[in-house]
């Protein structure tokens, strides 16, 4: 296992699920959610040396296995990636509306106001103080936006991936089904693996573990959580090389 030696101190990659942005009926955009995410990001940005954002596409379309019979797996994933690109555009405007400088790019050529991602230009955008939103996933079928988040974090020198979700961290069991489930504050990759704890999909998890990239899982719904995570306060669950007292 390598240390994440490429990291720029205090630089973060934040992963938002597309699902969180959804409006009524679980689809499209909720103005309230866009405003909440923008405000959280604005507060967090004030304490960071650059924030890049990866966004999912679940508010429009998810590829993977559960597809209508007439849509091929690769096509389904391409539709999913386009959905993330639409979200990248929406977040750009919402962030700007909150007074942030923000740019969006896509992993593959798509036009429509989105330049194609390249790591060198992306680093420059971050160095100049803009928030950079990365749409289009990795650009490859069979991957996820969690994997995209870890890959881009490594490329852009982020220290930690903050996975902003609907749950308050990593638990010993499903907290919705088992009321005895405990939340961990700080665990190692090895502890998560040996206890079968779901942090991210296996590809994303391996990328983090092999490159010493930390992941903090937080509940995005709680005001101030993102800022606390950036400040290194104990919020949600931190997964890293060293781990905490549970190991």
* Residues at the interface with ligand UDP (CB under 6 A): 17-19, 56-58, 62-64, 76-77, 80-81, 83-84, 137-138, 140-141, 143-145, 148
Cβ distance to ligand UDP smaller for residue 73 or 223:
73
**Tokens 């852009």 sit at which residue?**
156
Q: Please, where are the H alpha helices in the chain?
A: 31-45, 73-97, 119-127, 145-156, 189-194, 202-211, 225-230
Instruction: Point out the residue whose Cβ comes nearest to ligand UDP.
Output: 56
Q: What share of the chain is helix, strand, coil (3-state, %, to 5)?
A: 35, 20, 45
Least separation in angstroms between CB 107 and ligand UDP:
7
Least separation in angstroms between CB 207 and ligand UDP:
12
Cβ distance to ligand UDP smaller for residue 144 or 227:
144
**Which is it for the CA torsion 228, 167, 193, 84, positive or negative?**
negative
Query: CA-CA distance, 89 to 82, in Å (whole number)?
Result: 11
Least separation in angstroms between CB 241 and ligand UDP:
25
Q: Which two structure tokens, joined as six digits, stand for 104? A: 């969006």
Cβ distance to ligand UDP smaller for residue 4 or 17:
17
Least separation in angstroms between CB 189 and ligand UDP:
21
Cβ distance to ligand UDP smaller for residue 17 or 237:
17
User: Which SS3 state, helix, strand or coil, does residue 42 take?
Assistant: helix
Cβ distance to ligand UDP smaller for residue 6 or 203:
203
Which candidate, 106, 207, 232, 191, places its Cα nearest to that of 153? Answer: 207
Least separation in angstroms between CB 180 and ligand UDP:
28
**Ramachandran angles phi, psi of 205, nearest 5°:** -60, -45
């Amino acid at each position: 296992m390598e240390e994440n030696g490429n990291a720029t101190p205090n630089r973060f990659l934040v992963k938002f699920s597309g699902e969180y942005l959804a409006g009524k009926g679980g689809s499209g955009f909720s103005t309230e959610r866009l405003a909440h995410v923008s405000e959280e990001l604005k507060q967090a940005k004030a304490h960071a040396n650059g924030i890049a954002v990866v966004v999912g596409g679940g508010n429009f379309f998810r590829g993977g296995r559960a597809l209508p019979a007439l849509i091929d797996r690769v096509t389904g994933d391409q539709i999913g990636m386009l959905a993330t690109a639409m979200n990248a555009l929406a977040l750009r405007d919402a962030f700007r509306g909150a007074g942030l400088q923000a740019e969006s790019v896509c992993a593959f050529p798509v036009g429509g106001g989105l330049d194609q991602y390249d790591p060198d230009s992306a680093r420059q955008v971050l160095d100049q103080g803009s928030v950079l939103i990365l749409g289009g996933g990795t650009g490859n079928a069979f991957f996820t936006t969690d994997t995209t988040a870890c890959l881009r974090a490594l490329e852009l020198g982020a220290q930690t991936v903050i996975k902003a979700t609907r749950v308050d961290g990593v638990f010993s069991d499903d907290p919705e089904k088992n009321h005895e489930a405990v939340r961990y504050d700080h665990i190692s990759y090895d502890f998560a693996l040996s206890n079968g704890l779901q942090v991210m999909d296996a590809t994303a998890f391996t990328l983090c573990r092999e490159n010493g990239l930390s992941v903090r899982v937080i509940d995005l719904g709680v005001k101030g959580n993102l800022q606390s995570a950036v400040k290194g306060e104990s919020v949600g669950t931190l997964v890293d090389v060293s781990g905490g007292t549970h190991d």
